[in-house]
Structure 1
Amino acid sequence: MDEKSVKPRGELVQVINQFTKQDGIHDTAIPALRFIRASQITEPIYSVYEPSLCITAQGSKVVMLGSKSYQYDPGSFLTASVHLPITGQVLEASPETPYLSLQLNFDMNQILDVIQASEQTVKAKPESGSGLVISPLNDTLYDAVLRLVKLLETPADIAVLAPYTIREIIYRVLQDEQNASLKQFALIGSHSHRIAKVMERLKSDFALPLPIDELAKEARMSASSLYHYFKEITGMSPNQYQKQIRLQEARRLLLTESIEAADAAFQVGYESPSHFSREYARMFGLPPIKDIQRFRDDYLPR
């Protein structure tokens, strides 16, 4: 796209800045929408992305999924098609020019509804693709997103207008060729939809042993096909995906419930505390107790 056709992003910065006076994640009066603010470059942050649209209004961020990295800034947007354990890091931010972004969550029913209403065709291929996609942010999508966030300035309009504006945003996202695979996740019977169901099972039953043969049977796929498509979408194997979900949940338990590391290990499905400690350190850089202490020293008020 010609750069001259891209509108200034100042209005989006102003609105997000208005509703985020402190660093952190801020829920809004629109349930599916939240804002993120950071006044400095961050350490890698581990989280699970829901199906969503992410736009950076100011600054830049990188997201790691498996071995791949996805960097986006005010000229681009990121879409997550399924629940994905990621590592995110703010790359550009300062107290004077903080990192400002938004995340709009959606579900597959909303996508399917838009596909059916617009009579959009879904190509047989690509049958699947990465669960994360970076695309250029064009004026039509930007205008729809700006109208949505500006509804926060007139709360009485949200209940009536927000659902229609979100529907338009999804329509604009689906028009982008790079997001063609997003349609596949909404279509029952597609490989992408079956993999999404496997992810839901791994996410909900992360503490249970889930052999790939069992998952493949539920997905009505061969084990080799499941492994292939799962890795194509997530950048990792089903076992690695489950491991990341387990370790992120263990870290949450250690931070919020003040339990012993061994108890957290058992709760998330590890039989050996020493095995848990090794894998925890491999992912977060320190053993559980030292990692939690570092987090509290660095981020909690004294």
Structure 2
Amino acid sequence: MYNRVSQSTIGGDYKLLTNYAYKLRPNVTQSNKMGGWLDMLRSTYNWSLTDRIAQYNQQFIQGDYCDIRTKSEACPLTCFVSKNGASGEPWKDAKKDLDGKLKNPRRSAGDIQITALPQLKKARPWFGKIDSTVLQQNVKRLDTAYKNFFDGRGFPKFKNRSNFTSFTYQMGVKVQGSKIYLPKLGWMRFFKSRLIPDGFTLKSATIRKRQDGWYVSIRIEDKSIPDYVLKPIDEVKSILGFDLGITKLVHLSDRYQINNPKFSTNKKAKRTLKIRQRRVSRKVKGSKNCKKAASKLGRFHKKITDKRVTYQWDVANLIVS
């Protein structure tokens, strides 16, 4: 279990967003369904990325052209390299905004690919088994990757089974006791390691496959947070400063030091990692024995990660208290 907290302000009102993660207990049918969904969503993601790249390359070969139906200049571009580029049917009905001005009638690449999802379901009926919001969030995931690219990060990459392990629900998820309802999957049990606080509403849920099973990350929101009033400096009784170290995890201003256990670089962990990595490298690539050895190596890496996260929360609790 882990959580992530973020606080944002809209119109002067505070709201709290946080994630609670739980381990799921799906039955065999549900587990197989989610595994199949990941394969189909990955293929859709890669196809959408291929479509955007191909249409972008076509712009430099074909250039702009005159669309017969709209009798206006159009462009085959589907990616966000051009702000006014789109493919398929790039135009939509012009509507006025609140100020009475006409909105830009040209659609973005994400809007076009989301609109084409019903055609995908008609051509390939097995995609109808996937919840519609999951398919839409999959396209928006590619939009986010393009946005990150223009913010200075790497260009979106094609996904494989090792780096595409999650999908997101935007609506329809319900929690009742130690059960969670996921559209098109039904009710599913989970390990309720902590209670969801009162006053929070469920915003979305991300299902993620890990080495030791399936997990759900529930995003919850609370808009009833009062304004935070800063305490005057003359009322502050004590101040504690800390700095992250290398040999020691944290150095505090009162000369107290917190040890760094180095879960992945101690003698025992290094030896275990060396042995398990060697077993993977000696197996025939793509064989069942290779997958078993890789799974065992992945579980050990997750064990190290869980130890590190737990220790960090314990240290944070110690500093705060």
**Pairwise same-fold verdict (TM > 0.5):** no
TM-score range, shorter chain: under 0.3
TM-score, structure 1 normalization: 0.24
Which of the two has higher C-alpha Rg? 2
TM-score, structure 2 normalization: 0.23
Q: Which has the higher helix share?
A: 1
Q: Which has the higher strand share?
A: 2
